[in-house]
């Protein structure tokens, strides 16, 4: 179970002291992610970079951004709210910052040479 892809991500997301989800249970990695979707996953070492970013930390000090993220976390229809949030300049700045950390421009596959 602990060697399954994504097992550490789920443990980290669950928080310290939380038992890992047993294999085959709802929420187990094999139930959530198909092979096509795996390419859109962020590797754990890149997620670690988010926690180390001073720029991201500064953005997260903004109470308005924190309220937006909390609303997104608690929303029943996350995709609809996310579409609306993508119109908010502050949320776009947050998203761009996150993307810039986990997928720096020099690593993007579909960037045309200048």
DSSP string, 48-98: HHHHH-HHHHHHHT-HHHHHHHHHHHH-SSHHHHHHHHTT-HHHHHHHHHH
33 within some domain: no
The verdict on residue 79 lying in a domain is yes
Residue 65 covered by a domain: yes
User: Element (H or E) spanning 46, and its range?
Assistant: helix 44-52
Does the residue 10 lie in any domain?
A: no
User: Is residue 81 in a domain?
Assistant: yes
* First-residue to last-residue Cα distance in the chain: 45
pLDDT in tens, 13-61: 444 454 454 444 454 444 455 666 667 788 899 999 999 999 999 999 9
Q: What is the pTM of this model?
A: 0.59
In a domain, 22, yes or no: no
Total number of domains in the chain: 1
Q: Are 47 and 102 in contact (CB under 8 A)?
A: yes
Q: Note whether residue 31 is domain-resident.
A: no
> Is residue 2 included in any domain, yes or no?
no
> Is pLDDT larger for residue 65 or for residue 42?
65
Q: Which domain holds residue 65?
A: 43-102
Note the pLDDT tens digit of each residue in 80-91: 999 999 999 999
């Amino acid at each position: 179970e602990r060697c399954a892809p994504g097992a550490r991500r789920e443990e980290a997301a669950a928080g310290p002291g939380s038992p890992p989800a047993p294999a085959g249970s709802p929420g187990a990695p094999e139930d959530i992610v198909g092979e096509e979707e795996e390419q859109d996953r962020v590797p754990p070492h890149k997620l670690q970079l988010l926690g180390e970013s001073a720029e991201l930390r500064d953005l997260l000090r903004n109470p308005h951004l924190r309220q937006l993220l909390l609303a997104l976390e608690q929303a029943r229809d996350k995709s609809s709210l996310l579409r609306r949030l993508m119109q908010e300049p502050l949320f776009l700045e947050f998203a761009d910052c996150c993307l810039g950390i986990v997928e720096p421009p020099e690593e993007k596959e579909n960037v045309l040479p200048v």
